Structure 1
Amino acid sequence: MDDTAPDAPPPGTPPSGGLIGLLIAAVVTVGSNALLLSPILIDVARDFGTDTVTIARVISAYGAATAISALFLSTAVDRFGARPVLVATTAVMALALATSAAAPAWPVLAAAQMLAGITAGMLLPAIYATATSLGGAARGARVLGRVLNGWAISLVAGVPASAAITDLAGWRVAYVVLAVIAAATCLGCRRLPAGPARDTAGPRRARVASPLATLRRPGVASLLVVCLTFMSAFYGCYAFVGDAFRRALDLDAGTAGLFVLAYGAGFGLASLAAPLIDRIGPARLLPRVMVAIAGVYLILDPALHGFPTALAVAAIWGMVNHLGLNMLVLLLSRRAAGAGGAVMGLHSAVTYTAVFLGPLLLGLAYEGIGFGAVAGAAAAAALIGAVAAWRDASRWSPSH
């Protein structure tokens, strides 16, 4: 996938900070938009004269559009290259966010968020494919780790800032701010070098693999099983941990929000361990990290009954999740060399399927038994992922 990145540097040369900054800004935009609506449901519902359940459907519309787009449109980066895809998707994302801000009724907001989801389904695979291509075999985890910090920024700064803006100036202004960030990112991407030319009418076009064709490549299916278990455990547990934390210690929303900040801080700090991934090899480390994630879930429920222990475990949870996500994306890109957009599309589609399945399935456990059952089920899912990761690692050399 070397021709995906705009003028990728020679092997061993660190990519420019400007390009990485643009990729981080794009992740922040996608992440902040994806996470924004949940904490401001009441404000948006009040403005449209409806209930929060109705507005929550907007989140579902966004997730479904992202998953479908990632499955069928993610090969754009393989076909056209990073620069045109990054420019086009960030421009459409800015339009979708501006439309969200100006929506006169909730169906218009839902339509705008579906457009944002379609865009995110193309943008995220392009970001991840570009990051792994820029880093190469020697620096892949380090470059990807820096780009993944965009999610930590969304958690630690983006979502709290958007909530504060909503309190001060209204929820529409929060979407305006995100639209401005997306537009600025688009302008920055326009200044990127064009990268290698493509023969869109020749054999290159025929060689662009679809996501479903990429699924048949050795190792891809097993890593997607890891992805499904990993993400279902996370999103299923994350959906209820805030409520469980508040109930355990009788906390208000603001204080309980420190749990999310601790998670985001741990997620960001884990990027410091990226050189270790490059040195030891992601295939060797991923099964061990999945076991560590299962261990975090096993201690999460009792940890919620003490404020310091809850924040400490949240930070550790963020760290191991960052490492797991980094290694998954890195391994998938290596298993599908030359089809980075397609395989990252599969990754995004599976992730957003987990966004739907995790809360749905673990919600039954939460209602019927409690958060301990949720955390236990998440641990079991992570262990299944560890077995799949170990089976994948046994087929490849350590560097893969």
Structure 2
Amino acid sequence: MIDPAAVEQVRELATAAGTASRRLALLSRADKDAALRAMADALDAATDDVIKANAEDLQRGRDNGMAQGLLDRLTLDAGRVAGVAQALRDIAALPDPVGEVVRGSTLPNGLEIRQVRVPMGVVGMIYEARPNVTVDAAGLALKSGNAVVLRGGSAAASTNRALVAVLRKALVAQGLPEDAISLLDGGGHDAVRALMTARGLVDLLIPRGGASLIQTVVTESTVPVIETGVGNCHVYVDVAADLDKALAIAVNAKTHRPSVCNAAESLLVHRAVADDFLPKVLAELGGAGVRLHTDEASGAAAEQAGVAHEDATDEDWGTEYLALEMAVRVVDDLDEALEHIRTYGSGHTEAIVTEDRAAARRFTHEVDAAAVMVNASTRFTDGGEFGFGAEIGISTQKLHARGPMGLPELTTTKWVVEGDGQVRA
């Protein structure tokens, strides 16, 4: 039984958001872009206030023993505030998907039909200690003509309140409804369950966070959900790899920002190049502080390189570490690499390093993932890197949206049919 107070809180927020969404759906691109730029300027002006609020969350996180990787995700400094503000300006520069004609034709009877993009309506976001998501989701929702109801993790409560207050004030200054962006604050798990079951008031729900959060939302929601899955990503170094490229890619994929979903969690190396490649890559990974979980062959290479390691368990192969940890395995061939990825991969991002175009084609054809990289780091699976501006998440499902979700993925379509008195015989 959900607390009636939580149900009423969500009903009020979602109803107000629905009213706001109908206003947003009619806005011109110029109006939306002006609002986005005003929101960015307001964030810049409020940097000190946002950092102060964020410091409260960080101190609470440290007091509660929050892991370093999660603290990193939670942190907003001046540079990161400037970054999320710039993301709003980048969104403003993107084409407006609303009104885009997806396809159309004139039927033999003279009816003109076209499928056009329209906003979803009210989008709910449930996410963990990632304050940047608060701003990214608000900006993408506004540009695509949607209102958004945000439910951030309690670890970022102070930061999210500060950010949403700034964004709402900027909307009002632009003559737009502040309820286009709302924060579901307090209420505990009952408030989250109320949001997940607000079918008819919320049109789409997007969870963004760890495996437990995502599975809870997917399995318990009555509101339609786009699943943003965990990132157990692999880098496979093929027999035909350029080993200098492979070294740079493997190290970057793991160490560039280990706390994010597109960081590589496992390294697979073809046996024919293992003797040459593994001592070098393990030494560099170990030197960067990466905790290595190795199979027998890669463990022997770690010993040769004088790098600390531990025997990998079956659980290690399926773990999204989100930290400076990596599982390493030697495989006999591409077939074994593909089978390993099929068994343990999460469908997020997989990478192959090879100069053999046939091997690359086979990898891209056979790997079932939202993004497949050839001779590039897994870290590129990102809406900003793909040129979408900020992203609202990376979908690992196969319906409607897959991979980094930008503006088009926050729209649905309607059919518009124009005639001149035609009737069906």
User: Going by fraction, where is strand more abundant, 1 or 2?
Assistant: 2
Normalised TM-score (structure 2): 0.21
More helix by share: 1
TM-score of the pair, normalised by structure 1: 0.22
Larger radius of gyration: 2
